[in-house]
Amino acid sequence: MDIRINEVGLRDGLQSQGKTLTVDERLALAEALAGAGLRYMEAGSFVSPKAVPQMAGTEDLFPRLPSPERIQYAALVPNMKGYERAVAAGARTVNVVLSVTETMNQKNINMSLARTAEVCEQIVARAAGEGVNAQAYLAVAFECPFEGPVAPEVVARYGALMRDAGAGKVIVADTIGAADPAKVDAVLERLLEQVDVARVSCHFHDTRGMALANIHAAVLAGVREFDASIGGLGGCPFSPGASGNVATEDVALMLQSMGLDTGIDPLDLVPVVREAERLTGTALGGKSFRWLSRQYGKTRGGQGDDQ
Ligand code: COA
Ligand code: ZN
């Protein structure tokens, strides 16, 4: 495998949906994703169900996730309580989230930036001691919705902090989809001075239609792991595709076209997008979905034709 695709639809995608899926429905989506060859997924978060009702019941989901022996399922944890809940539910990979601006941490998890950094360090260190893989998201790494543009030096500094704490991965997250390829270059140039590229991953939203271009820039910089969400799930349920994560099928197709192996056949994702549409009641699909649907219809028959 040349490039690892980490599916985040079950967490980043579902948490922003107007409709809250049941644990059975979330499991159905996980099974469809597993069936299409996804081997890395962020399956849910252990946050306050008052803050994010869509993620309630994640402890019931984790023990039921398919093929845990060959699929790595990560759990997002905002604090030590979340870490403990995740480990108790059987999670072996946890993701901490360090937003790199003060206001974003306050709005997201009601903690200061300094306190969040401390808590993330503590969780990562504890995970290392308990044989749990910990990964660190650097959220709003390009622009904060409250404080505006973020300097690449800031991202590099928090990347180094998480590296020192022992994070297995440092994930640069363009939470609001404000990056462009030049900004990706600038951030990665600084970050890669601090963190080995093999431990860096990128998370792009497609709000401004630049997510694939950003992934391409990151590939050229040597990054070999990307987050993506099936059908572009995420963002505002009333404007499909407007601000969701980059669609998994778009990423898989672009990388396949470039001759890079992801272990995923984008055509296999067509029925998964349809299943995600059925479950969420939302029209989904990345930029390539119509084309992929037609190819699916031609080569696999049945209901592939797009309207
Ligand atoms: N899981 C479940 N419940 C949690 C929790 C966790 N990880 N952390 C705290 N809580 C509970 C507390 O036990 C307390 O419960 P109570 O009201 O029944 O006593 C309540 O939440 C408030 O706890 P407190 O420590 O005061 O937290 P808070 O109100 O400042 O909220 C978070 C902090 C982190 C729990 C909340 O902001 C949150 O879950 N945010 C997640 C946001 C998110 O998922 N963003 C997207 C991904 S980064
Ligand atoms: Zn995101």
Question: Looking at residue 201, which CATH number applies to its domain?
Answer: 3.20.20.70
Buried b (16+ CB within 10 A) or exposed e, 152-184: bebbbbbbbbbbebebbbbbbbbbbbbbebebb
Whether 200 is in a domain gets the answer yes
Whether 257 is in a domain gets the answer yes
Q: What is the pLDDT of residue 307?
A: 46
Number of domains composing the chain = 1
Which of the residues are catalytic? 236
Instruction: Identify whether the C-beta of residue 29 lies closer than 8 Å to the C-beta of residue 275.
Output: yes
Per-residue pLDDT tens for 290-302?
999 999 999 997 6
C-alpha pair distances (Å), 292 with each of 82, 128, 181, 218: 38, 42, 26, 24
Whether 32 is in a domain gets the answer yes
H or E segment to which residue 210 belongs: none
Whether 296 is in a domain gets the answer no
Mutating to test ligand 1, I would choose from 8, 48, 62, 135 the residue with most ligand atoms within 8 A of its C-beta, which is 48
Whether 80 is in a domain gets the answer yes
Q: What is the mean pLDDT of the chain?
A: 95
**Half-sphere exposure (CA, 13 Å, Cβ side) for 13?**
33
Instruction: Identify whether the C-beta of residue 8 lies closer than 8 Å to the C-beta of residue 42.
Output: yes
Whether 157 is in a domain gets the answer yes
Regarding the beta carbon of 82 and ligand 1, being less than 6 Å apart is answered yes
Range of 258's domain? 4-268
pTM: 0.96
Q: What is the pLDDT of residue 63?
A: 98
> Which residue's structure tokens are 């290392």?
128
Whether 158 is in a domain gets the answer yes
Regarding the beta carbon of 47 and ligand 1, being less than 6 Å apart is answered yes
Whether 304 is in a domain gets the answer no
